[in-house]
Structures are given as C-alpha cells and as structure tokens.
Amino acid sequence: MSLRLKIIISFVLCIAFAISPILIILETTVKTSNMEQAEYQTLQLINSKSNEIGSWLNQRISEIRIIHEHASTKNLDLVTLKPYLTNLNKVLSNQYGNFNETFAIGAVDGYGWVNDNITIDISGRDYFEKVMSSPKEYIISKPIISKSDSTPAFIICYPIVNDNGDKVGFINGAVNLDKISEIAAGIDVYDGFSWIMNEDMDIYSISKEELTSKYIESEGLSEIIRSSMAANFGTVALKDKSGNDSTVFYSSIPYTEDLMLCTMIKNTNIFAQTNDIINMIFKVGIVLLLSAVLFAIMVSGTIVKPLQKLKIQMVEVSSGNLDSFFNYSGSDEISVLGTVFNQMLMDIKKLIKQVYDVQAQKRNAELRVLQSQINPHFLYNTLDTIQWKALDYNAYDVADMINSLSNFFRLSLSCGKEFVTIYDETEHVRNYLEIQKMRYKDKVNYNINLTKQISQNLIPKMIIQPLVENSIYHGLKLKKQKGTINIDILQDNDQVKIEVEDSGLGINIEKLMEIRINLLNSIESEHYGLYNINERLKLTFGDKYSITIDSKYGIGTKVSIKIPKISEGFQCSEL
C-alpha cells in the first residue's frame, strides 16, 4: 500500500472515529472548563483591580509617611509644619478628592491643626484610640463625616513616633468618599457593579441603603463576609435583587486591615462569551475537518516525494556528512522542514566552532585566574622581604609600618570575600590607623572597643575604614592639633552597632543637613566613602540597616551604623 493511500485512509478513519466523541467532549468537558477558566480570569481581574486600589491607597499612605519623616514632624514644630502642610494641601487635594484641606496634624490629646481657621478634636474617634494604643503603622477609619468640611470621607490616621519610639501625635489624611466611589465606578467587568466594604459591612463607595435596595440583599452581604473570613479572595453565588443568578467576586484590598473590593456580575454575562466561542468552534471545526479530508486527498501525492528525498539527506548526515543540505523549491510544510533541517546543519557547524572557541576562552580565563592569584602573593612576599631588610638595619619603625601595610592589603583582599568577620575588619582598621599614626606622628590616637561575643559574626568588608579615613581627613587633620578616634562595635539585641567618633573639627549644621539629605536620597557627594557604604548596605540589607550622623562644629563628629547580626552562609535575599 502506498504512503499516499495510507495517509488518505488513516486521515478519514481518524476523522470518522474522532468527530463524534469530540463533539460530546466539546459540549461537556471543554465548555465546563472554559466556564471555570472564565470565572478564574474574572477573579484574577478583580484581584488586579483590588491591587490597583491598594496601590492607590499605599501611595496616599506613602505621602503621609513622607510628612512623618519631615524634620519638624517628630518635634511637632508647627511653625515649620504649617506652611509645609498648607502647600501639600494645595498640591495633593485632588489626589484625595478634597476641595478643602486634606491633612491634619495634632498631639496625643487628639486636638489637631487643619489650617489657621480650622482645628479638630478626634480624641473620641475609634480610629484615633486604636492607632494610639496599638502597634499598627496606621489605621483606616470607617466612613465618617469630616469635621473640617462636613463631607463624607474616611481617614488614614498615622501616629507620629519620635526618635525614642514614643508616640507624640498623629497625622490625618482625609480621603473623600467621592474619590473612592469614582475608583469603584470605573471598574467595568462584564457590566457588573462594584463596591468597597469592610468586615462590619460599612460601605465606602455607595450608600448602604442604595446598595441593598438596588443590587443585593443584606443577607448576601453577610454571606460575602462569612466567605471572606476563610479566604482573602473568592466567589459567592447568589441572586441579585431582580432574581437573576449572579456571582460576587471579592478580593481583599492590600495595605488595609479589612477592606475588600466586591463586584457582582450576572452569570449570563460571565459565560456569554464562552458560549459564543463554543458554538463558533463547533461550526468551524466541522468545516475544517471536511476541508482537511479533501485537502489530504489532493496533496498527499505531493508529500511523498520530497519526504523521501529528505530521508536520504538525513541518512547522509547520520553518516557524518554535514554538507548534505536539502534542496527543495516548494513553499509548503516540506519546504519548512527542509529549511529547518538546513538550519540545523548550520547550527551544528556553528556549535562545533563555538565549542573550540569556548575551550580556548576557558584556557585563557584559567590563566588569568592563576595570574590574579600569583600577583597578591608576590606583593605579600615582597613586603615581607622589605620588612626583614628594615630589621637588618634596625629600622624598627619602618618594619612595623611595612607589617601594618602588608596586613592591611591582606585583609583588604580577603581572598575575594564580600563578608569578613568583625574581628578581621577591626584588625584591618587597626593596621590602617597604625600606618596613619606613624604618618602623622602624635596627632592621631585611637581606641577600639569590640564586644567579644560578636567578634566572629560577619560584616560587609571595608565599611569601617572609610569612616575612620573621613575622621582623619575631614576632622583631625583640619583641626591641626592632637585628636582621638574612638571605635565601638557592640551588640544591640539582634543587631550590630558600629560607632566611629572623633574629636576633630566637626561639621556645621548646614553641611550636616546636606550630608543627611544626600544619604537619604542616595546622592553622591564629596563624602564618597560614606555614600559608598550607604549604597553597599542598602544593596545587602535592604531597609534593615541605618546610618546616623551627629556632629558639632569645633567638637567632633560621630557616625553610627546599625546592621543585622549575620553569620556564615548569609545571603542578601534572606532579609
């Protein structure tokens, strides 16, 4: 039997045996699966919309965080804060949907300043009592009537925490409910209706009376709340106020305690597209199958000859002839196969050449690694030789200085390690200071205090030496008299605290503020060593570290660093 006849018979038999069960499967399993997929995709879309709302709220919260981190906020310096907040109210009022003031700031007694004409007393508000008595970063209130302009709103209440960790006041950001209603109304999914509520069934984007009279029964809301207790997102099947079978898709809104986005959609709307697609696939499938049978009869004869030729070329390639390319002038699938086959031969040739090139590069890389290992050893051996020569001539100061320099280089390289023990880091600094002490004679003194329990913990390499270098060149050297550098490395709970304090010239307040702002915003300045340390710690520990600078002009400067206590096997992604 010829290949052509086999193709035709096999194709017809496959169609005959397959068409009936395919139609059944298409109507049952595939339809059910597609409907489930449609429901799943709708839930994912609602989740996405919920995340968008969460991101919008987080942006508002981030704006309040910026106010909290303002230099005058923690001291409740209203003289400085009033013009600052007045300007923010003008710039951000549209973001919060307010026609009047958006932000208020006050003390722990609940009395707050909105503007020079409006003050508020929120001491009896639930959200204020909760934020002042709980460890939460912020609280989002239930819908309220704003005391500043009598409009419906909800409040983002953020406690003001001073440098000692004590709560000294509050910042309120008022979000007009019209703004959140606008966001909910903009969600268009299968002509569904969306609203935002909390676990107490407080509605944020529409009045509860309108919601329960037009769209859903109160019992339906209770059922959604019960379902949300078990999962942050999901679906609830129920009937709408018109008796239509509907599905409510709900998803918790990120950055909130219990807010959720709900969207109710009629089932007929959800599955309409699926039903249309199934019907279209059914019709198109029948047409395509019939056309495919006729096409197989017509083209089966043209398939056999080029396939036989391709087979011969493949056999030659399997025998080692990589120049056995397939020549075919057609433009059908066989031509594609031939083109892919030819491309495969060219790729094999390229891969063989690449293997040779990679092997050559590997040998060169191994040679460079060997050279990089030899050079440091050559440097150490040379320094040791110079040290012994100095001892032969009784030049003990020179020998000590060379010994410190050799140790300094050895600890600086650290065999390419990014992390070293705290003990090795302090020894590295000690060698550096010994060299500087010899250079500046009696002008530089130092003290190093290391808590023994953390001496074998790890620390990013070379984060103390740049601070010491700054103390010398920007502090002691400018003061032009004898000075001292005190280095304390202590354990602070699960953190390591590093303090470098000098008795140098110090920094004036304007320059100190500039340095602090540059560090906060990662702006490179003349204090490159401090900038470099800050960026390295940020890449290593994320937000789990801190750098503080205190200085008084004419008295000295103190730099404090806090980092997590880490040990062998630490990875940056662990924090």
Averaged pLDDT of the chain: 81
Single-letter code of the amino acid located at 48: S
pLDDT digits (tens, 9 = 90+) for 87-104: 888 888 777 777 667 888
Is residue 251 assigned to a domain? yes
Question: Which of 236, 254, 282 is the last residue before a domain boundary?
Answer: 282
- What pLDDT does residue 452 have? 87
How far apart are the C-alpha atoms of 182 and 134, rounded to whole Å?
A: 32
Listed residue (169, 190, 177) closest to 122, CA to CA: 169
Does residue 316 belong to any structural domain of this protein? Answer: no
Amino acid letter, 86: T
Last residue of a domain, one of 282, 300, 333: 282
Distances (CA, A) of 225 to 53, 254, 259: 19, 17, 11
pLDDT tens readout for residues 390-401: 666 666 666 666
Question: Can you give the CATH number for the domain in which 276 is found?
Answer: 3.30.450.20
Q: Is residue 93 part of a domain?
A: yes
Q: Which long-range contacts (CB under 8 A, 24 or more apart) does 14-17 make?
A: 15/289, 15/292, 15/293
User: Considering the domain boundaries, does residue 372 fall inside one?
Assistant: no
pTM passes above 0.85: no
Q: Let me know if residue 192 belongs to a domain.
A: yes
Cβ neighbours, 10 Å, residue 3: 14
Alpha carbon of residue 398 to chain centroid:
52
Give the range of the structural domain holding residue 244, as residue numbers without chain letter. 20-282
- Res 379: pLDDT: 56
Contact 19, 289 (CB under 8 A): yes
CA dist 158 and 173 (Å) reads 8
In this structure, the strands spanning 419-421 and 458-460 are: antiparallel
Residue 263 counted as domain residue: yes
Does residue 493 lie in a domain region? yes
Radius of gyration of the chain (CA): 37
Question: Which residues have a Cβ under 8 Å from the Cβ of 275 and sit 6 or more positions away?
Answer: 31
Q: What's residue 574's pLDDT?
A: 46
Q: For tokens 């309108």, what's the residue?
A: 210
Q: What is the pLDDT of residue 2?
A: 66
pLDDT value, residue 310: 74
**Number of domains observed in the structure of the chain:** 2
C-alpha atoms less than 13 angstroms from C-alpha of 366 in its C-beta half-sphere: 6
Q: Are the C-beta atoms of residues 144 and 198 closer than 8 Å to each other?
A: no
Choosing from 232, 251, 282, the residue where a domain stops is 282
Query: What pLDDT is stored for residue 369 in this prediction?
Result: 43
CATH number at residue 565: 3.30.565.10
**In a structure prediction context, what are the per-residue pLDDT tens digits for the chain, which is 575 residues long?**
666 677 777 776 777 676 667 667 666 676 677 778 878 888 898 898 889 888 988 888 898 999 998 888 888 888 888 898 888 888 887 777 776 678 889 999 999 988 888 888 888 889 999 999 999 999 998 888 776 667 788 889 999 999 888 999 999 988 888 777 787 888 888 888 889 898 888 888 888 888 899 999 989 999 999 999 888 899 999 998 888 999 999 999 898 888 899 999 988 887 777 777 777 777 776 776 677 677 777 767 667 777 777 777 778 877 777 777 777 777 777 777 878 878 888 888 788 877 777 666 555 544 444 444 444 554 555 566 665 666 666 666 666 666 666 666 655 555 556 788 999 889 888 888 887 887 777 688 899 999 889 989 998 888 898 899 888 888 888 877 888 999 999 998 899 999 999 998 899 999 989 988 988 887 877 766 788 888 888 888 888 899 999 999 989 999 999 999 988 766 654 44
pLDDT at residue 95, rounded to an integer: 75
Q: What is the pLDDT of residue 170?
A: 94
496 lies in some domain: yes
The pLDDT value given to residue 285: 67
Same domain, 141 and 270: yes
What pLDDT score was predicted for residue 114?
87
Question: By three-state DSSP, how is residue 168 classified?
Answer: strand
